[in-house]
A and B are shown apart, each in its own frame.
Chain A
Amino acid sequence: MAEDIKLGVYLCDCGGTLSKEIDFPEIQSRLEKIPDIKHIGLAHSLCSTGDLERTGSEIGEKGINRVVIGACSPRLYEARFMGAMEKSGLNPHLLSLANIREQCAWVHPHRSKATQKAVKQLEMAVKNARFLEPIEGEAVSVNRDVLIIGGGISGMEAALALSELDHKVTLLEREKVLGGRLRDLHSLYPLEVTPEALLTKKIEVLNKRANIEVMTQAELLKVEGQLGNFKVQIRAGHSQITRSFGALVVATGCDTRFAKEKYGLELSDEIITPLQLERMLKSSEDWPKIPQKIGFLLDISDEFSRISTISAFRNGLAAKRRFGSEVYIFCKNLKLDTHGMERIYREVRNRGVIFFKFGEKKPEISRANGQINVQLEDLYLGKERVNLSFDLLVVDEQVIPQKGFENLASLLHIALDPRSFYQPANVHLYPVASNRKGIFLAGSCRADLDFPDTVADGRAAAEAVHQLLFPGEIWVDVRKVMVDADKCVLCLTCIRSCPHRAIEVDPVKKAAKVVDVACQGCGICAGECPAKAIQLNGFTDQEIGVQLEFLKEAV
């Protein structure tokens, strides 16, 4: 390295709270002996605006070119420290952080030993800092067009929101018409608007927008490229089209399944699914037999489904209104954790729907004389068994991923959760982002959502897409990962192991090549590469090596 290393070490005692466990003056005197350390600073709250500004200006004044910080977990304020370095004109990647709070002060009761460990941690960080190299950024221009896969309510909502935000949208639907599961519903209770009215209005607006193109009976054939420039092959009807998009939104929805194995019985004319009942209630044809008594069973196919609760409420009330039937709902736990559901539950009860709650013992279901018999022990009635006969029994269904989810997941290289729904990048912060930059998730393809939340999710995905694409270019760190073309034998291990599809083959160098736009710097490729041809900047073998070597001697 041509330039001289000038290290600045900053320690933080977290508002004085760490000085009980760690002897900071002792650390300071030990570090002072290390050559190249030009400055050691002690702060009470390095994360505070004041301390950050002071640190930043010191870095500039003293010409410090490598920073070591001994403070809390990097997960908390690393970004803030990096921001302060950037402001001072130093590349923010020239930072090495030692976690002396969570990994030292908070877990070691002996002050002298904790102090020793903190010194070792800091010395390791110093070793690491000497090898740090700057990572530069560059602007990459992106295509602002968006492809939405799935023409259900969340996909339509995303399309509408994006078109309002001035993006060109292509909406892909597998079926002949838009609407998805919404087309089967007879009501959206407690909403007043009917599904038909809502759909008609949405489709009308969609068709009017010049920047939305709807493709029905369409499917995705191939997806290449990455954020800002996805090359997509689509089959729409009989024609094949290739297009470029800046981002993709997956809004394929969910499916439901009757869990026969949990019920131990078959569906019949008297035992039907909620969807069958929805369709029957929706059609204006006369029913062959008016059901006098209807029972709804919940929490057997799926104990965790939100939508089965509201569908039982909705269908129960509709049947009551239409036929004057007696309606009973059997459940284990009522799922009322969506907006206004407690109120709705009370209304349903006030209108005469009767509820029974069973515990771990499932109700027994039997057939006799064309009727369905349900026997159970109720929570509040205790040992006295409830025994009721029904003309019609509506069983609950499991919420399962949409047909073809495996195919789509492998086409897009997006991750699935343990229940095979699409896995958000972060369920709290980025619920609509997938593991791949530029591919977003919306609606019930990612989680069990009720109707208003599904609508909201489509808009949220649109917002996330817009935020990424609206400037027309994005700023990316380059050379987060370095490939040594001489060592690379093109075994393709890295390409197979990269969850972000960020590695391609460079046809000129005949070696793996990292696509900076897609790379998230996770380091899996560097770990997997059998030829050690890949190094992760900031975590190179050399950097880790010197730290381990030091640790070996120290222990």
Chain B
Amino acid sequence: MEEKRVLVIGGGVAGITSALELAHHGKRVFLVEKEPNIGGHAASFCCKAAEKCNKCSVCVLPEKIGEAGAHPQISLLTASEVREVNGEAGDFRVKIARQARFVDPDRCTACGLCGEACPLELPKAIHPPFAGAVPSAFVVDRDRCLRFQGKECRSCQDKCPAGAIDFDQTSQKMDLEVGAIVVATGFDVFDAREKALFGYGKYPNVMTGLDLEERFLHGGSIFLPSNGKPPQDVAFIQCVGSRDEHIGNGYCSKVCCKYAMRFSRLLQYQNPEAKITMFYMDLQMAGKGFADFYEQCKGSIRFVQGIPVEISPVSEDRLGVRFEDPWPGKISEENYDLVVLSVGISPRKEARNQAKILGINLGDFGFFDSLNPLENTCTNIEGIFLAGCCQGPKDIPETIAHSTQAALRVIRSLS
């Protein structure tokens, strides 16, 4: 190989950061992402600034996405997955499967004519991905597109001036030779339905932290699903899917205390009348600047040390939350109109399979195992490195730091 090539698996914050670091050092990078666009979970997160910035660090992403998309040393392989890895450090042979996406990202200029041509009512079956997405190529919604409902339609394909749309496209295979691999496959958001007693999916006014992220991102504010009014009495329940050995997640997800407090500030900024209660086990408020943030929150949020056991509806718009009030130490039930489940970080469901493909070890809870705590980007296989939440829960700054370090290890291993 004339040049040192690196494969980065996963196009979220971790993968993008590693790819950019490597590219800055002149390495040729292939960034594989299974979705049609890079950005990962953080692309669906919202800014949590209230009267001032609450330092959630979501805003660092768009710039990084754009930079990765435009960098001449980085090749994006979106809608692609790694199927096979052979070889050893310095000489890995990788087989990649590229799904048919029907719109060629290299040709599509995002002019929007295809959307206009689509005969469907809004939302159209071919549309731009989220604002600022990379690549900016339009995506086909297979659930709506007539072609996938067994009907004949070529409206968009015929209209496209760039010839970027091709419904005959099939999935393709691709072989790559690389010197090192960075695994940055990220995490799954915990599925709150697993905690059946909280009634997520059953009661409309029970939402998760992720629901809040998406609603704030797209609508700028939160309204109750049951009646469309702004929430007045809000409960945040922490550690949903974290620190819970019963469901196999015996670890702290690190991010939930902080995001719940940021959301609380945001909700109260938009509606100063809103009353907010946070049910928690232990507040994780160490970390730079967070002590002061917690001090600010103390006056406006009621903190209750104890996790509720059950949520049940008391009327159409109100939910009863049953919990043990530690001071004075009795069982209570209180009514709220919105309950937010602070869902945590779970390992990827595909992690086991990915570990098998890569030959790397899986750790305690289903995250990839690092060599030791002082070499937490290295794996049991030389030349394969870990970056970000696939190794264990991390917030965005930590993910950036970890991925930067993974890139450094790659550079060292290639030199």
Contacts and interface: CB of A to CB of B under 8 A. Distances in A.
Contact of A77 (B21, B62, B291, B326): B62
Contacts of A346: 245, 250
Contact of A427 (B21, B289, B374): B289
B159 to A, nearest CB: 15
Given A44-B111, A49-B70, A346-B250, A382 B326 contact: yes
B328 interface: yes
A493 interface: no
Nearest to A378: B326
A89 interface: no
Given A382-B329, A447-B288, A49 B136 contact: yes
B282 A452 contact: no
B292 interface: yes
Contact of B220 (A54, A106, A462): A106
Interface string B395-415: 011001110110110011000
Contact of B286 (A14, A54, A304, A446): A304
B285 A342 contact: no
B70 to A, nearest CB: 6
Interface stretch (A274-282, A333-341, A401-409): A333-341
A427 B373 CA distance: 23
Contacts of B326: 359, 379-380, 382
B59 interface: yes
Contact of A161 (B57, B63, B306, B408): B408
Interface in A337-352: 337, 339-343, 346
A191 B109 contact: no
B250 A340 contact: no
B254 A337 contact: yes
A24 B43 CA distance: 28
Nearest to A157: B374
Contacts of A334: 282
Interface residues of B, number: 68
B344 to A, nearest CB: 11
B286 A164 contact: no
A424 B288 CA distance: 10
B290 interface: yes
Contacts of B329: 380-383
A463 B404 contact: yes
B409 to A, nearest CB: 9
Interface string A435-447: 0000000000011
Interface stretch (A25-33, A365-373, A453-461): A453-461
Q: Is the interface of B mostly helix, strand, loop or mixed?
A: loop
B408 A418 contact: no
Interface string A318-340: 00000000000000011111011
B179 interface: no
A50 B69 CA distance: 12
Interface string B313-341: 00000000000001111000000000000
Contacts of A304: 285-286, 290-291, 294
Given A339-B376, A346-B250, A77 B132 contact: yes
B66 interface: yes
A459 B294 CA distance: 30
Interface string A280-316: 0000000000000000000000011110000000000
A176 to B, nearest CB: 26
A44 B116 CA distance: 13
B109 A337 contact: no
B131 A14 contact: yes
A452 B372 CA distance: 10
A305 B407 CA distance: 30
Contact of B327 (A335, A339, A359, A467): A359
B109 A54 contact: yes
A448 B282 CA distance: 18
A182 to B, nearest CB: 13
Contacts of B251: 340, 342-343
A427 B397 contact: yes
A339 B372 CA distance: 11
A421 to B, nearest CB: 8
Interface residues on A, range: 35 or more
A193 B374 CA distance: 10
A417 B289 contact: yes
B364 interface: yes
B400 A428 contact: yes
Interface string B92-113: 0000000000000000111110
Contacts of A51: 109-110, 136
A452 B376 contact: yes
A88 interface: no
A53 B136 CA distance: 12
A161 B412 CA distance: 9
Interface string A64-101: 00000000000111011001000000000000000000
Contacts of B217: none
Contacts of A542: none
B253 to A, nearest CB: 8
Which residue, of A428, A448, A463, has the highest number of chain B Cβ atoms within 10 A?
A428
Nearest to A161: B408
Nearest to A418: B292
B128 interface: yes
A35 interface: no
Given A50-B108, A459-B408, A463-B408, A335 B286 contact: yes
A80 B286 contact: no
Nearest to A357: B305
Interface in A369-415: 377, 379-383
Contacts of B257: 337
B367 to A, nearest CB: 10
Contacts of B254: 337
Contacts of A382: 326-329
A508 interface: no
Interface in B37-93: 55, 57, 59-60, 62-63, 66-67, 69-70
B286 A460 contact: no
A187 to B, nearest CB: 14
A342 B243 contact: yes
Contact of A428 (B55, B109, B111, B372): B55
A429 B112 contact: no
A161 B411 CA distance: 12
A50 B404 contact: no
B135 interface: yes
A190 interface: yes
B60 A342 contact: no
A48 interface: yes
B6 to A, nearest CB: 15
Nearest to A53: B109
Interface in B344-372: 364, 372
A459 B377 CA distance: 12
A380 to B, nearest CB: 7
Which residue, of B288, B291, B305, has the highest number of chain A Cβ atoms within 10 A?
B288
Contacts of A419: 291
A80 B243 CA distance: 42
Given A429-B400, A431-B401, A456-B376, A50 B111 contact: yes
B283 interface: yes
Contacts of A244: none
Given A342-B251, A357-B305, A448-B287, A431 B243 contact: no
Given A336-B243, A379-B305, A427-B55, A190 B287 contact: no
Contacts of A44: 110-112, 128
Interface in B255-276: 257
Contacts of B290: 304
5 contacts: A304-B286, A337-B287, A346-B245, A448-B287, A467-B21
Rank and list the top 9 A-B pairs by shortest CB-CB distance, nearest first: A382-B329, A50-B109, A48-B136, A428-B57, A337-B284, A304-B291, A306-B286, A447-B288, A333-B282
Given A161-B408, A337-B254, 10 more contacts: A15-B131, A45-B110, A45-B128, A303-B285, A304-B294, A383-B329, A419-B291, A429-B400, A431-B400, A456-B405
